[in-house]
């Protein structure tokens, strides 16, 4: 995938900012059954596996909540980045999702940022 190229399907959009990929799930993922979520996620992850970004940001600004199927997707993204010594972070995390991540202890696995811009700045070392 060329730098700064965009990839979109019905449920996810991916934007590249140099070596940082921002995955933006649609609010529709809140109601998507696992049988549809996983194939949609695989379509997004396949190009990222071919041309891996150094860092991945999952922008949850438009997502109100999610269940175990989406947590599985996040864990797959996490494993993809960790095997290369990179980092996955979450941005735009609302109060309900923060509570879910705290309850499941996943907030210890991923850094949480209020906005995608804040996460991009932190990951790219921009002042």
Instruction: Classify residue 21: in a domain, yes or no.
Output: yes
| Domain total of the chain | 1
Helix axes 68-82, 34-50, angle to 10 degrees: 10
Tell me if 69 is assigned to some domain: yes
In a domain, 47, yes or no: yes
Residue 34 lies in a domain: yes
Is 50 a member of any domain? yes
Percent of the chain with pLDDT over 70: 91
Tell me the CATH number at 59: 3.30.750.24
pTM exceeds cut of 0.85: yes
Q: Tens digits of per-residue pLDDT, 1-39?
A: 444 444 456 788 998 888 899 999 999 888 888 788 888
* Domain assignment of residue 28, given as a range: 6-124
Q: Could you tell me what percent of the chain has a pLDDT over 90?
A: 42
Top pLDDT among 91 and 83 is at 91
Instruction: Give the Å distances, CA to CA, from 2 to 12, 23, 34.
Output: 18, 16, 30
- Domain assignment present for 1: no
Residue 83 confidence class, pLDDT cut points 50, 70, 90: confident
């Amino acid at each position: 995938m060329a730098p700064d190229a965009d990839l979109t399907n019905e449920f996810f959009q991916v934007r590249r900012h140099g070596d940082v990929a921002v995955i933006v799930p649609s609010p529709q993922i809140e109601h998507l059954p696992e049988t549809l979520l996983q194939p949609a996620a695989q379509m997004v992850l396949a190009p990222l596996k071919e041309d891996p970004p150094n860092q991945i940001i999952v922008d949850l600004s438009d997502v109100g909540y999610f269940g175990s199927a989406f947590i599985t997707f996040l864990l797959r993204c996490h494993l993809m980045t960790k095997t290369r010594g990179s980092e996955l972070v979450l941005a735009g995390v609302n109060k309900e999702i923060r509570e879910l991540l705290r309850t499941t202890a996943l907030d210890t696995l991923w850094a949480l940022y209020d906005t995608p811009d804040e996460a991009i700045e932190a990951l790219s070392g921009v002042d």
